[in-house]
Amino acid sequence: MPDRNQHWSDLLRRANRGDGAAYAVFLAEVAPVVRTICRQRSGGAEDVEDIVQEVLLAVHAKRHTWREADPVTPWLYAIARYKTADAGRRRRGQGGQVPIDTVAEVLPEETGDTTAARDLAQLLGRIDTHSAGIVRSVGIEGQSAGEVGARLGMTEGAVRVAYHRALVKLKDLAGAEADRAD
């Protein structure tokens, strides 16, 4: 049996060609996954079902933007992330926030890496590039294990295990450096 990403890709491909039954199956299968993503990313907010409906509507409206050669799960997860973030902003309101466009010209330019970012970059340089890439993708860029797995040809669980092992390596390296500094 093909993996979930291949199966969903096939269903959406067929749906984009007019197969209504395939589209119904696609939506029925992705809805629980979308619900889980929205619930986790919103902190269990009361309006999770509203967010899920927004995601499914966005999928319907933007399904033509999915490139058939690409995995469908990163595209789907991105829509879920963005719609959940939008809902969070609506819940919090603008609350004294100023759009960045209005102050971008007066903000000072960045002068380089902060100490923590520089230290992390040095530590990441001391582990294998595969593990460092997973840490960057999941821990820094905020991509889901599913997205990273789809890109790297790994299962979601394998990405989580590799991420955890990389974090342990980084912790050990940081601890060894701290011991040397004492």
Residue range 57-111, pLDDT digits in tens: 999 988 888 898 888 999 999 999 888 888 888 777 644 455 666 555 555 555 5
Tokens representing residue 4 in the block: 């979930």
pLDDT of residue 2: 57
Residue 61 Rama label (left phi>0; alpha psi -120 to 50; beta):
alpha
Q: Provide the pLDDT confidence category of residue 10 given band limits of 50, 70 and 90.
A: very high
Average pLDDT over residues 7-14: 93
Q: What is the pLDDT of residues 112-161, one digit of tens each?
A: 555 666 777 888 888 999 998 998 888 878 888 888 999 999 998 899 89
| Amino acid (one-letter) located at 52 | V
Q: What percent of the chain has pLDDT over 90?
A: 27
In the block, tokens 């009361």 appear at 46
* 74, 104, 176, 177 from 180: Cα distances, Å: 42, 42, 6, 5
Predicted confidence at residue 87, as pLDDT, reads 84
- Higher pLDDT: 47 or 15? It is 15
Considering Cα of 18, then 146, then 132, then 118, what sign does the dihedral take? positive
Instruction: Quote the CA–CA distance of 61 and 150 in Å, as a whole number.
Output: 23
Q: How confident is the model at residue 9 (pLDDT cuts 50, 70, 90)?
A: very high
What pLDDT is recorded for position 100?
A: 62
pLDDT of residue 130: 92
Residue 106: per-residue pLDDT: 55
Write down the residue that tokens 């509507």 correspond to.
57
Mean pLDDT of 167-175: 82
User: pLDDT tens digits for 23-63?
Assistant: 999 999 999 999 988 888 887 767 888 899 999 999 998 88
Look up the pTM and report it. Answer: 0.50
CA distance 177 to 182: 9
Q: Provide φ and ψ at 127, rounded to 5°.
A: -115, 170
pLDDT at 1: 40
DSSP string covering 124-163, please? HTTS-HHHHHHIIIIIIS---HHHHHHHHT--HHHHHHHH
Q: Which tokens belong to 180?
A: 């040397």
Q: Which of 38, 121, 145 is nearest to 82 (CA)?
A: 38
